Structure 1
Amino acid sequence: MQCVNYLFLVLILTPILSTFSAKILGLFLYPSRQHALLGTALFAELSAKGHEVTMISTFEQPMVQKKFRHVLVDGTQIRQKYSPSLMSLNVSMWEHIVFSNSEMKYMIAELLEDSSLREFLDAGEKYDVVVSELFAEALLGISHRVNATTVSFNPTGGSYELDYLSGNSHPYSYVPNAFTAYSDEMTFWQRFANTYVNLFCAFSKHFFNLPMQRSLLKYYFPDAPPLEDLMNSVELHLVNSYYLFETPRPYLPNVVQIGGFHLQKPELLTVELLKQLDELKNGIILFTVGSHRKLSDFPVQIVETLFASFSKSSHNVLVQYEGPPPSNLPANVRLMPWLPQRAVLSHPNTKLFITPGGRSSVVEAIYFAVPMVGLHAPGDDDSQLSMMANRGFGVCFRLDEELREEQLSGAIRNVVADPVYKRAIMLESELFKRQEMSPLDKAVYWVEHVAKHKGAKRVKSQPAAAMPLYKYVLLDVVVASAALLVMFAFISLWLCKQTYRVLIRRRQTEPVKHKIV
């Protein structure tokens, strides 16, 4: 009987004792609500798996699990100070790049000087792994402080920054820079422009951004190793992308695509909002400008054009709008300060999504098979909108003063009425959902792998990530080959000269034979 009881106890306790539980720190300090929501989706699942999770972000988070702790960094002033300059409709691509080398320094400094963050770091807690949104390499000092292995999280998919940090190859001939919105089939002039945009990014990275990151690291984390060593210590890269959402490109094994991972858990509507959506039988058009901008801050002319276009639609338009409502608000338009975007897109009455083309917004629209009208703001990454138009499940326009009411209202009417757009996005949605593994399960698996094995060295290309630029582009091989060719040419020339001299001497020393008549 005692043996039976002992066996029963072993069977009960074995799965409990063998369960791996890690201490995981999530750093989502970029002042974007959408980025914070992505982090919450991942860390809530990790917490549900039994891991002890701490998330640090600039937005309040609900207590989703018992083992989910949140540290709030005050990002209100940061958003007010830096978002207008970064997200203005008049900001060009070049100004976006320059921003990362100027004002970004002060934004990171304010984040690192936050009292809640300093209190957390001074507590001396240690973690197994840090999942960090690495918009600034100086934040790797936090990983060093908590003695953890780093997993980077990229919310926007493939980019020059990701390739630089991971060691991915980035052939300019068929991998377009995110700022260009070209396809993988580029013309000569597009390849020409793509090459120099990438070279400009490389120049900016090496001579402006990295020196700034080194100075921040040295100031706030004086005991940390050199920045290059910390960058090379990043073991894995989780990327919010999927092959459907970007042009084909080479990825190393330690770059894991998890696009759509936040869609695995449904977003619930409030009872009141659900009732409103159910009553709108003639269809819903959803319009948001993303979590970075406020529609009320747009130029008056653009706002008037948008609402005038909406007024011509027979559908009801839900608009995310903060601030006092405009005086000429159409009868079919409803304003709400915050909309649960995923939940509204999943509702069967939703017919169209008007969006500036953020990565998460486009992914959600594809998942729920809602056609789109894209409004591209200058300076934004418009690669998603370009892909949308090329694949036929939407149309796009530039969101500026040149936008005409007739253009937008006609596009809205056409995309809703023409079944071609709906069929195209339903195909994309089917391909997206038929994956070999759930993106959320994939993300959890790799974070657990890094935590358990203290890294992912078997899938990481150490030389590619740490290789100097001259080695990466084989400049030393090219120089050595050129030197050999020059040496071979000189030797060949010298041999030819020597041979010629020998022949001349031999001819001169030979006796002259006179012909006897």
Structure 2
Amino acid sequence: MGRSWIFILITVLTVSNGFKILGILPTGGRSHDIIGAAFMRALAAAGHEVTIITPYPAKNPPPNYHQIELTGMLELKKQNEVNMFDYQGSGPLAFTIMLIILYEMFPAITCEYVLKHPNVVNLLNSNEKFDAVLVETFISESLYGFAQHFNAPLITFSAFGNSMWTADLVGAPLPLSELVHFWDRFLYTVFDYVDKAYYKWRYLPAQKRLYDSAFPNAKLSFEQQLRNVSLVFLNQHFSVNVPMPYPPNMVEVGGIQVDDPKPLPEDLQKYLDESTDGIIYFCMGSNVKSIDFPETKRQAFLKAFAKLKQRVLWKFENDTLPNQPPNVMIKPWMPQNDILAHPNVKLFITHGGLLGVTESMYHGKPMVGIPIYGDQTTNVEKAVKAGYAVLLDYNELSEATIYQAIDTVLGDPAYGRNAMQMSKRFRDKPMTPKELAVYWVEYVIRYRGAPHLRSPVMDLTLLQQGSIDVHALLVVIILSIIVINLYITKILWLKLVKRKVSLDSQKKRS
């Protein structure tokens, strides 16, 4: 009893000296919420008083972790739920089409929903004060107005790494030059222009209308707020991604959601411990659901799994699965990080979402990747290039291709060794991602938004950013020099010709 009171006293004293931080997680996507909640839990553990707007309230939060639930959002999301296999596709065209769909849908079903939610309206009408506002950057620009409303520095985070949405906030370059093949660079450049045009001329005006309506007293306009972001966190790490040049207020915290493994439920612990031939963990994430696999592809998995000596843990969103082999266990939800940490797990079959790929790599598990949409193909291709994964095309799924992919990875020890090497490289950091995130949030608050971190690029026009005006002047100067030289050459040539004609005439007369 005495120790409990001491713990409560320490917590209260710590919180009283901490900062007040508001976190806004608007997407309704479970994987996105996991990343955002990881930031807020880390800040709460560091002694700060956090308030989080989320559709996924945590159970038994600590006293300094306050939650404003977006009630009804998950039900709305379920009503609009689609079969993600219908959006299967990779390449720049498929990616651009997906972005345009998001641009059209998300402002209404996320931003507008958040801004008009009674619980959020109560917060906006309260006398609350915050030292910083943390918002996920995922089609959520109108929500940056919370920083204006509470007169606090704005910090954003990306759940999947760097993109146009994050790079433009701090003036970071985002070159496509890391793509080796010319046609890859050509196609991605073309569709990048399409994306930017749609984003600027169609999407941002819709977000501006929401911003102006919800925050009429904002000191900064919508455009000004977009250029006044104090800090951007990226859920990636240079050990895995292509190294990129970042300004100091763009910080990589890849793996922030990875916690120390917790004890597994008794049935799972027993199932894994007794799997002497190893475990294959199969999960298609939170948005892509295994239950939505077409029947032919689902049966292909079952037939391939039946041939294996290993046991299979399959995250399957139902309690029953027809033709389920005896070596397969299904559950609608599984503690993924804790499962991947188990030494008997030998392979992870995944859709290639960044969270799963990161957790698999952190624990040194090789993969078979079946990307469906978005960044999943890129994530799996990076793992293939690093030598710890095999990419399995969704359109080519069959009993034979599934079995072959599994046999390739499990039959070659190099995949496991490469996975462990990547794990070692990824973990080798001076600070954990959580410690790094806490440090930089505190830094921004201590220095009142840390404007000294802001790149001067943010105050330049597009012409100035690309030095197009300078290059144009250089072209004019070079062309002028060429024209002048041509003119002088012409004059000299005409004089020489005239002189030659004169000399010839003189010779004829003589």
Query: TM-score band, normalised by the shorter chain?
Result: 0.7 to 0.9
Task: Pick closer, same or farther for the CA change 1:111–1:161 going to 2, 3 Å.
Answer: same
CA shift, 1:140, in A, is 0.4
**Structure-to-structure mapping, 1:356-367, within 5 angstroms:** 356-367=351-362
Q: For 1:187 and 1:90, locate their aligned partners in 2 and report how far apart those are by CA, in whole Å.
A: 24
Instruction: In structure 1, list runs of 5 or more residues that go unmatched.
Output: 1-12, 177-185
Which of 462, 475, 481 is matched with 2:474 structurally?
A: 481
TM-score (normalizing by structure 2): 0.88
Q: For 1:467 and 1:360, locate their aligned partners in 2 and report how far apart those are by CA, in whole Å.
A: 36
1:95 aligns with: 97
Structure 1 residues 209-240: Cα deviation after superposition (integer angstroms, max 9, x where no partner)? 22222122123223333222111111111111
Task: Pick closer, same or farther for the CA change 1:31–1:499 going to 2, 3 Å.
Answer: same
Q: For 2:492 and 2:334, locate their aligned partners in 1 and report how far apart those are by CA, in whole Å.
A: 86
Task: Pick closer, same or farther for the CA change 1:82–1:144 going to 2, 3 Å.
Answer: farther
CA shift, 1:406, in A, is 0.4
1:180 aligns with: none
What SS does the corresponding residue of 1:26 show, helix, strand or coil? strand
Which of 311, 314, 318 is matched with 1:319 structurally?
A: 314
Count of aligned pairs between the two proteins: 490
1:172 aligns with: 176
CA shift, 1:133, in A, is 0.6
More divergent stretch after superposition (252-261 vs 319-328): 319-328
More divergent stretch after superposition (386-395 vs 196-205): 196-205
Which of 53, 63, 75 is matched with 1:77 structurally?
A: 75
Contact 1:310 1:330 in 2 (8 A): yes
Q: Does 1:27 align with 2:24?
A: yes
Task: Pick closer, same or farther for the CA change 1:378–1:156 going to 2, 3 Å.
Answer: closer
2:3 aligns with: none
Contact 2:315 2:331 in 1 (8 A): yes
Q: Does 1:44 align with 2:41?
A: yes
What SS does the corresponding residue of 1:65 show, helix, strand or coil? coil
Instruction: In structure 2, list runs of 5 or more residues that go unmatched.
Output: 1-9
**Structure-to-structure mapping, 1:11-26, within 5 angstroms:** 20-26=17-23
**Structure-to-structure mapping, 1:212-231, within 5 angstroms:** 212-224=206-218, 225-231=220-226
CA shift, 1:203, in A, is 2.0
CA shift, 1:489, in A, is 5.0
Q: For 1:412 and 1:261, locate their aligned partners in 2 and report how far apart those are by CA, in whole Å.
A: 29
2:7 aligns with: none
AA partner of residue 147 (structure 1):
N
Contact 1:351 1:371 in 2 (8 A): yes
**Structure-to-structure mapping, 1:264-279, within 5 angstroms:** 264-279=259-274
Q: For 2:453 and 2:261, locate their aligned partners in 1 and report how far apart those are by CA, in whole Å.
A: 32
Q: For 2:294 and 2:457, locate their aligned partners in 1 and report how far apart those are by CA, in whole Å.
A: 46
Structure 1 residues 36-79: Cα deviation after superposition (integer angstroms, max 9, x where no partner)? 22222222221122111011112121233210011111321342
Which of 61, 64, 72 is matched with 1:67 structurally?
A: 64
Contact 2:84 2:287 in 1 (8 A): no
1:8 aligns with: none
1:445 aligns with: 439
What SS does the corresponding residue of 1:69 show, helix, strand or coil? strand
2:133 aligns with: 130
What SS does the corresponding residue of 1:477 show, helix, strand or coil? helix
CA shift, 1:425, in A, is 0.6
**Structure-to-structure mapping, 1:239-250, within 5 angstroms:** 239-250=234-245
Q: For 1:347 and 1:140, locate their aligned partners in 2 and report how far apart those are by CA, in whole Å.
A: 40
2:193 aligns with: 199
Q: For 2:344 and 2:242, locate their aligned partners in 1 and report how far apart those are by CA, in whole Å.
A: 32
Q: For 1:435 and 1:141, locate their aligned partners in 2 and report how far apart those are by CA, in whole Å.
A: 34
Q: For 2:261 and 2:83, locate their aligned partners in 1 and report how far apart those are by CA, in whole Å.
A: 34
Q: For 2:112 and 2:508, locate their aligned partners in 1 and report how far apart those are by CA, in whole Å.
A: 100
Contact 1:26 1:131 in 2 (8 A): yes
Q: For 1:235 and 1:151, locate their aligned partners in 2 and report how far apart those are by CA, in whole Å.
A: 6
Identity of aligned residues (%): 30
Which of 276, 285, 288 is matched with 1:293 structurally?
A: 288
What SS does the corresponding residue of 1:335 show, helix, strand or coil? strand
CA shift, 1:200, in A, is 2.5
Structure 1 residues 382-409: Cα deviation after superposition (integer angstroms, max 9, x where no partner)? 2110011111111011223x31210111
